[in-house]
Structures are given as C-alpha cells and as structure tokens.
Structure 1
Amino acid sequence: MKLGLMAGLLVGKVAVARAQEAAPPMPLVVGAYAQSSFIMAHTPAIRHLVNSHPTGFEINLQRQTTGGADWHGWYKFPKLGLALVYYDFHNPTLGYAFAASPYISKTFSRNARHDLSFRLGAGLAYLTNPYDQQTNHKNSIASSAINATLQMRLEYDRAITPHLGLLVGLGLNHYSNGATSRPNFGVNLPTLLLGLNYHQQRPTTFVNTFAAAPTEVGHNFVNLSTSIGFVQRNAGDHTKYLVNSVTAAVGRRVNRKSNLLLGVEGFYDRSLTANLNDTTRAGVTKPDVKKAGVFVGHELLFGRLAFVSHLGFYVYAPYKSSTPYYERLGLKYHFTDLLFGAVDLKIHRGAADVIEFKAGVKL
C-alpha cells in the first residue's frame, strides 16, 4: 500500500516538473504541394462556369507547437502555419487567384513516421478577373478583386526520410467577398493535393502535456460590442451601404477549450431602406428596416484567439427581407483581457449577408 502511494506521489512530482519545463523551440515545416480541383455548382447562376478544372500550387510554412502555451497541450500540440496559394481556373472569365491563409492544424494521429491532421484556415485572396458589367459580365462568382478565403483540409504526411515527408490531402477552398459587392455567388473548390514537406525536426519533443485548466473555467462574463460592414444591393447599384449592429451577450467558460454564449443584438442595414424606396408606392407607409435578434453561440478557444459560431433568430423584423434565422462564423482576438476585435461573416441560409468588423469589451 505504501509502495503504491509513494509511486503515485513520484509520478505526480515528475508530471508537475515536466509541466513546468521550458518549451523547446517550435520546429519549422516547409511544404510545396500541387493541387487539382473542380468548381462546385452550388447554384444554377454559376453553372456556365463549371466547365474547367482549376489547378494550383501551394507553398506552406508552419511551426509545430511544443508546449510554450497551455493550450498547446489541450489540443494535443497543433501546428500553426501560413499557406500561400496560386490557382489557375483555366477559364478566361475567371482568370487566376492568389491567396494567403493563416491556419491551425489539429493532429489526430502522430508518431515518428506519420501525421494525420485536419487544417482550418482563413485569409485574403486576390482574383484577377472579377465581374465587370462591360468587359466580364459572365463572372457571377466574384465582383471584386479582393475576397475572403476559407480553407479546410484533411492531410496525411508519411516520412520517406528523417526530414522529408510525402503529403496527400483532400480539402475545400472557398472564395467570396461576403456580399460587399455583387454579384457574389462565391466559388467552392474541392481539392486533391500531393506534395512534399521538409521537417526541421522529426519527431518533436513536447512539454507541458498536462497543463492545468485556466482559472476562468466555470466563471461567467458579459460581452458588449458593435460592428460595421458594407453591402451592395445588386450589380446595377454601385453604392456601398453601411450596416451596423450592437450586441450584448452573457457567456460562461465551460471548459479549457470552450465558451458558451446567449445574447441579443440589433441590426440596421441601410440597403434595405434603398430597396423599400424602389419598391414602395408613394403614400404607402414603409415598414421599419431595423431588426433585433437573439442568438446562442460557441467560442472555440486557442489562447487569445477564438473561432466563433452563432445561430440567431429575428424577434423583431417588420420588413421580411430574409430568412427568420441567421448564422455567423468568425474569428475573434483578445488584445487585452478587456478589449477584443473580431471579423465575422453573417449568413442567411448559406448565402453571405455581410462581413462584420467588430470591436468590444469583456466584463
């Protein structure tokens, strides 16, 4: 009995000492991948553009986390990286795409010979041939050169030498401007990729595997925020209409990785006023275009960064311009314990409504 107790205490002391061990430098991984894709016809409005098979090339730079922050161990030591992507749509209407996407890659299975992981990234893309009413009116995918890009990917890296790995992957690349300009049906590119990774160090040494849960777990908080965004009604109206929102939410840190939220918010989209002015007969009372909603939300936490997802329902919407519900996906960053910023995409039934640039406080 005493022997077992002493062994338990010894294991506990070793674990504590290891948790307090300084993290080694994060090894660098450099990759180069060829990509082959097709354009998904997610709406009839782009079917005339799905007659080509885009191909691309990616340069990838990433760091393998080693335990320098507590959340590294909570997520089984993910990789942090930057993907630089080039695409040739092989279609003169669409031209070429250049994108840069910071990302995080979560490993499911890892040893000295292989790594199976899932990547999620978001960034900016430049499309060379956006819609133009006079010269490129067939491009219903994107009406602006600058677009947001989202990247999801399942990857398998197999060691072929101590420093070189063969990578195969299956992913999805998405480009859209979030209705800032129209037309904006966006493009989805299911992608098969093949390439090589150079590993500075393999296998990697990890520390702080059993980092303690933060003191915020089980505590409640309040978020207050406001946002701005801009939308275009249609291709014939080039005005960028201002969209505002204000939000108040209560939240709770439920575990190491997650916050849950419940909130209320109000919206004022000035493009709806323009719609009413165009469609309402003189002398007819116009409904209020302002809207109010309630939402439930989740924040997946990576240190000061969080991936945000909300599902909301309009409780006040006299002007029925959309579905009675909305979704929101975004990235949130805490500059301090009090101040945060976020970039969100608000969605109605899979269609972008507005990109929101948000600032707020956590109390």
Structure 2
Amino acid sequence: MKHLVTAHPTGFELNLQRQLNGSQPWHAWHRYPKVGLALVYYDYHNRALGQSCAASAYINKTIWRTERQQLNFRLGSGFAIFPNRFDLETNHKNTFVSSRLNATIQGRAEYDVALSPKVGLLMALAFNHYSNGATAKPNLGINMPTLMLGLNYHQRRVFTPLPVDAATDVPADLGKNFWNITTALAFKQRNESDTRLYTVNSVTVLAGRRMNRKSNLLVGLDGFYDRSLLAEQRDTVSGGRAFQDVKKAGVMVGHELLFGRFAFITHLGVYLYNPYKSNNFYYERIGMKYHFTERLFGSMDLKVHRGSADALEWKVGVKL
C-alpha cells in the first residue's frame, strides 16, 4: 500500500454543537454531554485517493471541566463522499476506497482552554475511519490518527443545568427483562472483478435486561443467509461436487449504551452452525440504534470478522 501513503493528509472541520441542559433525564445520567453536527474535508495529497467530504452527528462527553478548561471525549458517525473511487480501468491503484459513498466513524479526545469569555483554543487527538462495509470491493478502508488545532466559539461557556426531577430520575424499565426480534438486509460485492451486489439476510432474537440508567445487557441467537457465498462456490467448487450450505447460525452476547432513544451497540458472537467455512468462527457487530416508538426501532450495524468488514446491515425490529 506504499503507493497510497505518499503524504500526510490535511483538512478542516466545521462543527455546530449544543450543550444539553437536563431537559431529558438521560442528560444528567451522562453528566450533561454535548451533541453536534460536523462537516469534514480532507485532501490526501495523492492522485489515486483525491479528497473526501463527510458529514456526521456526534456526542461529546465532558470528562473534566473547570470555568476555563474542558477535557472531552467525542464519538460520532456519518457518511463520506470520495469522488476518486477504485476503477479497474482508470483508478486501479486505489484499493482503499471502492465506492463514492462510505460510512465514517470518528473518535477523539479534545482539550479546550478559554482565550476569552467566549473563544476557546481547541487541541485534539482524533482517529478517523472510512469504509463502505464491504458493499463494494476492494475495501481496505482508511484509518487516520489525526492531530487537530482550532477555535471554539461558546455562546455560554459556563451553564447551569435544570433541576433533576426525582419522578423521572429512575427509568421505568430498570431491572426489567425484554425481547428484541429483528430482521436485517445488507448488500455486498464479492470482489473487484464481480461487480454484482448480492443480498445478505439475517434474523435475530435477543433477550435483554435494563441493568442501570445507561446500559442494557443482551444474549441471543442470529441466523444469516449470504448469497455471495453461493457465487463463490460456483467459482471454486470442482464439477460434480455438491455445494455446502451457506446458511449460518450463531449465539451472541451484547451491550447497549443508552442515550434516550439512541443506543450504541456492540455484539460478540460465535457460530454454532457454519458448514461453509468462509470466515472465522466468531463475529462482531458495532452499530447505532434508534427507537421510533417504545416498541419499534431501527439500526445500522457493521458486521465484521476479526476486524474485516463483512456486511453493513440495515435493521428493523420490535421490542416485546
């Protein structure tokens, strides 16, 4: 990959951020974080990669705060556009990015110190990730440790949170069990020479429990059907031999970090039924979930095998 790492990428970022004040109970449970939107531009100083533009939503949690200083940790996700994608004829060297639309994940630690009552100097150490979740191949993705320097304008640096309402300070479902039933659809490309998109379906049944104000713990069963594995066998299995079953089933444990209607999802699973050994014996998921109503929710999950993206799943489900 040396031909793609020829210079240090440079860029700029524009953020609009709001301090949460306790109007929802979860604000206080997370010590009054900030939420925001970011627009990010990078120039990779490489003809094959070109530039990228991204938009993401994020939550910014204060770790330490005084009247003049703040130490924060920020986590966000969104979408990025790469005009210079992989093309077998015109841009075959770009093995990092094979689609114009990609997902982005950004995590960063930042330090803000007041230069005046409303202007702060911002210094940050960040990690930026870009990938299409194996929707198109090749998909090595881009990972960038990043140093950042900037300015923050605060309408009000010091804020006073609203009083905590004792009636809503404890979640109504604390200590209660629940069920989640979901179905998912994903699309993936098998390799750079086969540009067809194959569908991947999955179903999940989870049992969960609200452990505290911030967390749900989960355990459940997954079932997967990846049609790209049938095409893979058509290319690799010699004539006369029967195809192996490409359906897979696994058991998983998971965690949900709760922010009101939103949740940050992490799962770790092990395959119990896996006749066609196309991957490792375990899998992971990382994703974002949103409850439209008390019962109905949707999520976007990235399923990976040992750090390598397998499928970007779009899910809908019900909570019972």
Question: Which TM-score tier does this pair reach, normalised by the shorter chain?
Answer: over 0.9
- Aligned residue in 2 for 1:258: 215
Question: What is the TM-score when the length of structure 2 is the normalising length?
Answer: 0.98
- Aligned residue in 2 for 1:331: 288
1:245-301 per-position Cα deviation (integer Å, ceiling 9, x unaligned): 000000000000000000001000000000011111121121100000000000000
Distance 2:23 2:2 in 1: 48
The residue identity in structure 2 corresponding to 1:276 is: Q
The residue identity in structure 1 corresponding to 2:201 is: N
CA RMSD of superposed structures (Å): 0.8
Instruction: Report deviation, 1:210.
Output: 7.2
1:307-342 per-position Cα deviation (integer Å, ceiling 9, x unaligned): 000000000000000000000000000000000000
Query: Does 2:156 correspond to 1:204?
Result: no
Distance 1:90 1:47 in 2: 14
Instruction: Report deviation, 1:125.
Output: 0.1
Query: Does 2:173 correspond to 1:216?
Result: yes
The residue identity in structure 2 corresponding to 1:57 is: F
- Aligned residue in 2 for 1:279: 236
Paired residues of 1:104 and 1:120 also in contact (CA < 8 A):
yes
The residue identity in structure 1 corresponding to 2:40 is: V
1:132-166 per-position Cα deviation (integer Å, ceiling 9, x unaligned): 01110000001001000000000000011000000
Instruction: Spell out structure 1 runs of 4+ moving beyond 3 A.
Output: 208-211
Distance 1:201 1:279 in 2: 63
Query: Does 2:175 correspond to 1:246?
Result: no
Paired residues of 1:73 and 1:210 also in contact (CA < 8 A):
no
Distance 1:210 1:297 in 2: 31
SS of the counterpart of 2:11? Answer: strand
Distance 2:194 2:25 in 1: 50
1:186-217 per-position Cα deviation (integer Å, ceiling 9, x unaligned): 00011000000000012111123575220111
- Aligned residue in 1 for 2:55: 100
**What aligned pairs does 1:1-363 form with structure 2 within 5 A after superposition?**
46-209=1-164, 212-363=169-320
Structure with bigger strand share is 2
SS of the counterpart of 1:73? Answer: helix
Distance 1:171 1:263 in 2: 34
Q: Structure 1: 5+ residue runs without aligned partners?
A: 1-45
Instruction: Report deviation, 1:48.
Output: 2.4
Paired residues of 2:6 and 2:45 also in contact (CA < 8 A):
no
1:84-138 per-position Cα deviation (integer Å, ceiling 9, x unaligned): 0000000011000000010001100112101100000000000120000111000
SS of the counterpart of 2:152? Answer: strand
Aligned residues: percent identity?
59
Instruction: Report deviation, 1:65.
Output: 0.4
1:51-106 per-position Cα deviation (integer Å, ceiling 9, x unaligned): 21100100010000010100000010000001100000000110000000100011
Instruction: Work out which of the two has the higher radius of gyration on C-alpha atoms and give 1 or 2.
Output: 1
The structure with higher relative contact order (CA 8 Å, sep 6+) is 1
SS of the counterpart of 1:239? Answer: strand
Paired residues of 1:57 and 1:87 also in contact (CA < 8 A):
yes
SS of the counterpart of 2:194? Answer: coil
- Aligned residue in 2 for 1:20: none
Question: What is the TM-score when the length of structure 1 is the normalising length?
Answer: 0.87
Distance 1:49 1:208 in 2: 53
SS of the counterpart of 1:238? Answer: strand
- Aligned residue in 2 for 1:27: none
Paired residues of 2:35 and 2:58 also in contact (CA < 8 A):
yes
Distance 1:336 1:47 in 2: 49
Distance 1:230 1:173 in 2: 24
